[in-house]
Chains A and B, each alone.
Chain A
Amino acid sequence: MASHGITDRVAIVGMGCTRFAEHWEAGTDDLLRQASAEAFTSAGVAADDVDAYWLGTAQSGMSGMVLSKALELEGKPVTRVENMCATGTDALRQAAYAVASGAYDVAAAVGVEKVKDSGYQGLNAFPIPTDGTNRTLTAAAMFSLVVPAYAERYGVSVDELKQALAHIASKNHANGARNPRAQFRREMSVEKLLSMPRVAGELSVFDCAGVADGAAAAIVVRAEDAHRYTDRPLAVKALSVVAGNGRGLGDPDYDVTTFPEVATCAADAYAQAGVTDPRAQLAMAEVHDCFTPTELVLMEDLGFCERGTAVGEVMAGTFDLDGELPVNPDGGLKAFGHPVGASGLRMMFEAWLQLRGEAPEDRTVPMVDGRDLALVHNLGGYPGEMVSAVTILGRMP
């Protein structure tokens, strides 16, 4: 038993990302074409130059043919990947492993979600036949359980905690306002965020991720070939996924102030990448801020700060765009929007821009001067039963 990783054996040489929005005029295939075309151009390849494809979509279509039809691919292997909100990240993980194995020279991961065709607000899971005893609570309500639990465990008042949650939302909205590809481009003050009506526990709609359509894509090759495609490739430093066993909420010792799957996954990724002090070594992190309390807890589970200190660190601005470790400089799920299958690749797209020095000046993270690494984190599911993915990307010499 071992997690060896494929550190520095595979590189990303091209990426693309659509704007995330309510794309009433664009279908799944349109979004796939847009993101893929940008990635092809970025890597200087054509669709046919890619040997194999991995398509990430949670529920916008079945099988690899969703992509092969959209791109009119001829005779290409295409595999559909689904791993809840870690879908896009896992598509890249499959493509990277395929290249590392030597099976292919060039592989692509494309993630997409078309959520605004459902006629409902929010994300709605595809119904799988069950015995009817499964929970039907919204994700917002499940993550809202964190708030009173965290407040009690660490002796923080709910009001203080809500200030920190509003700070997180306000920060992500401010970052998103500087991002032309983000769904929401309006800044939101802490004061205004705190005045919103509650919809689930202490959470308002503005504590929830934006729900958007979108797609993102990445082209990967062996690291030694990377400079044939771009002069600034990104090395894949770590790829880690942990799928929980779902027993968390039934465990009386689980207090909903941490996501153990994430802590395990992060430890694995840091070991693969040789990261010993993430706060000092990472230039930036894109984390899965599906709800504001999620981002708060992730700061501790990802080792960015000590347990019980996230509220203070958030309020001190540690994770702001100009802070010690900028988190979600592209606006995060909160402001960029969350087309499930595309989100992981969208986060990598931000790492791609920042580490290559291509991010707009007004949201370039300052840490990028001395630090070569970026972390991307996704989770799918709920407290007590989730899939976690941590990816670490780095500049290549």
Chain B
Amino acid sequence: MSRSRGAILGWGCYLPRWRLDRSTISAVAGTGGGKGTRTVASYDEDATTMAVAAGRAALDHASTIDLDAVWLATTSPPYLDKTNATAVHAALRLAPTVPAYDAAGAVRSGLGALRAACAGARPSLVVASDVRVGRPGGAEESAGGDGAAALVVAAGDGDVEPLAHVEGWASATEEFLDRWRTPGDVASKVWEERFGETRYVPLAVDAYQRALADAGMEGDDVDRVLVVGLHQRACAAAAKAMGRPNDDLVATLAAQVGVTGAACPAMTLAAALEGARPGEVLALVVLADGAEALVVRTTAAVADRPAPTPLVDQLAGAPVAYGTYLSWRGLLAVEPPRRPEPARPSAAAAGRSAEWKFGFVGSEGDDGTVHLPPSAFDSTERPMADAVGTIATFTVDRLAYSPSPPVIFALVDFDGGGRLPVELTDATPDDIAIGDRVEMTFRRLFTADGIHNYFWKARPVRESAGSSRSSDEERN
């Protein structure tokens, strides 16, 4: 085996439930649209919440929580100045000694985070997560997609048997203007496409060839070439210039998911790895202000340890109306409920209850009774993020304040004990019935005074979300 530039120990992808049918755009926007669908983060999702979902899945796949670091790469950071990865760290209940870093701003940031993580002696979690917004009717809007992907990587072989090794890696960097967004703007602007294409194609070919050389391989050794980036036309042209067509997976994701910005490279790689056989060689070429090329070879273990939450099971979603999509992204200001907006949460109070608010940890009394939120009179912690429950009863509140009314609210009885009155998400009133099964998901309840109020909600169990982790295993 050639030397490893990094071992891939696990991965996890997250696609939000909602799908925008691109053909519905032009009726409203008067222009734009196209074929297929794009994923849409719900009103209560952002790069941080989706990163938590992908991160949970990846740690589950890698079966490790003993981390060197956690990275969050995004072009849509919910906060500036304040680190976003710390909320991911808190929701995953990682130890305080595990550093959490943002790699925010550009698609390329995620590759930098991955490169740094691949140098670590112990595994790191690299999550890339994005909410891609374009101006209504524009190409960026319909081409984009929302989602997150996470890789667990380390420099070499540790306790966890690698599923793949990065055997070659090369970068080509060049300063030129293709896409840009000034802080505060909702959407990117794009220079004439032909210009970017002419810059990207030679950079991609150069990076690809040097990555092959780095891996000691020839082009014929590569089973699949995946060229991804925000400039889709350049991706196709670059693959052609490398002497082969872009892999069908890239087109499939573009058609059903959209290009998920910073999340796209890791998501594409993860999706390719999901279907890979042992010894398969994948080349991932990312066009992002230059090009990054990785040559990855799967190990024998890839066949034995399938991802618990595969992307392929998440490709289907539920439709969201274009007007609803616009209001969720703040591009259409709809009339809010006539109730006071919620007050901003207290930083001090949130800090005191971080284990509950971010980690969803309840407590257990001496008699085994589970308390949610935790009781000060109990001495045993009871982590509940992975618990599955049943709706005991529910109601629909058309009066309460919500960024997207109505509020669906249920009493949920968890398997193994504990009842929680909790808001439901990724559901509509007609979908819900007493007895339905639900699982927990980390969401952004609302934003007040610029403070994102994160907490957990329940959502109908996703068929693919068969987490194998027992509910009382801690991630620390």
Contact = CB atoms under 8 A, between A and B. Distances in A.
Contacts of B345: 129-132
Minimum-distance CB pairs A-B, first 8: A132-B345, A141-B397, A127-B343, A129-B346, A201-B395, A132-B453, A131-B349, A131-B353
A-side interface size class = 20 to 34
B419 A131 contact: no
Interface of B: 338-340, 342-343, 345-346, 348-350, 352-353, 356-357, 371-373, 392-402, 407, 409, 411, 413, 417-421, 423, 434, 445, 453-455
Contacts of B342: 127, 136
Nearest to A130: B349
A124 interface: yes
A256 interface: yes
A16 B413 CA distance: 48
A131 B357 contact: yes
Given A130-B345, A141-B409, A136 B400 contact: yes
B49 to A, nearest CB: 14
B420 A144 contact: no
A155 to B, nearest CB: 15
Interface in A129-143: 129-133, 135-138, 140-142
Nearest to A126: B343
A133 B393 contact: no
A384 B372 CA distance: 13
A252 B419 contact: yes
Contacts of A249: 411, 419, 421
Contacts of A252: 392, 413, 417-419
A133 B353 contact: yes
Interface in A355-384: 384
Most central of A124, A131, A135, A144 by chain B CB within 10 Å: A131
Contacts of A118: 340
Contacts of B445: 132, 136
Interface string A246-274: 01011110101000000000000000000
Contact of A256 (B349, B352, B393, B402): B393
Contacts of B396: 141, 198, 200-201
A370 to B, nearest CB: 42
B409 A137 contact: yes
Given A131-B350, A133-B353, A133-B455, A121 B338 contact: yes
A304 to B, nearest CB: 25
A256 B421 CA distance: 12
Contacts, number: 112
Given A145-B411, A250-B371, A251-B419, A130 B346 contact: yes
Nearest to B392: A252
A149 interface: yes
Nearest to A384: B421
Most central of A124, A140, A141, A251 by chain B CB within 10 Å: A141
B408 to A, nearest CB: 10
Interface string A99-126: 0000000000000000000101110100
A138 B419 contact: no
A353 interface: no
A121 B339 CA distance: 7
27 contacts: A120-B338, A120-B340, A122-B399, A129-B346, A130-B349, A131-B346, A131-B352, A131-B357, A132-B345, A132-B346, A132-B349, A132-B453, A133-B357, A133-B455, A136-B445, A141-B396, A141-B399, A141-B407, A145-B394, A145-B411, A198-B396, A200-B396, A200-B399, A201-B396, A251-B419, A256-B393, A256-B411
A384 B393 CA distance: 14
Contacts of B411: 145, 249, 256
A274 B126 CA distance: 70
A264 B453 CA distance: 37
A135 B453 CA distance: 12
Given A130-B345, A256-B393, A198 B398 contact: yes
A200 B397 contact: yes
B435 to A, nearest CB: 11
Given A129-B346, A144-B395, A120 B356 contact: no
A129 B448 CA distance: 12
B398 A199 contact: yes
Contacts of A130: 345-346, 349
A27 interface: no
A116 to B, nearest CB: 14
B344 to A, nearest CB: 8
A396 to B, nearest CB: 45
Given A133-B357, A200-B398, 10 more contacts: A118-B340, A120-B340, A127-B340, A127-B342, A132-B345, A132-B445, A140-B399, A145-B395, A148-B395, A148-B434
A256 B392 CA distance: 11
B398 A132 contact: no
Contacts of B407: 136-137, 141
Contacts of A137: 395, 397, 400, 407, 409
Contacts of B343: 127, 129
Nearest to A143: B395
A148 B348 CA distance: 39
A135 B345 CA distance: 12
Contacts of B397: 137-138, 140-141, 144, 200-201
B419 A250 contact: yes
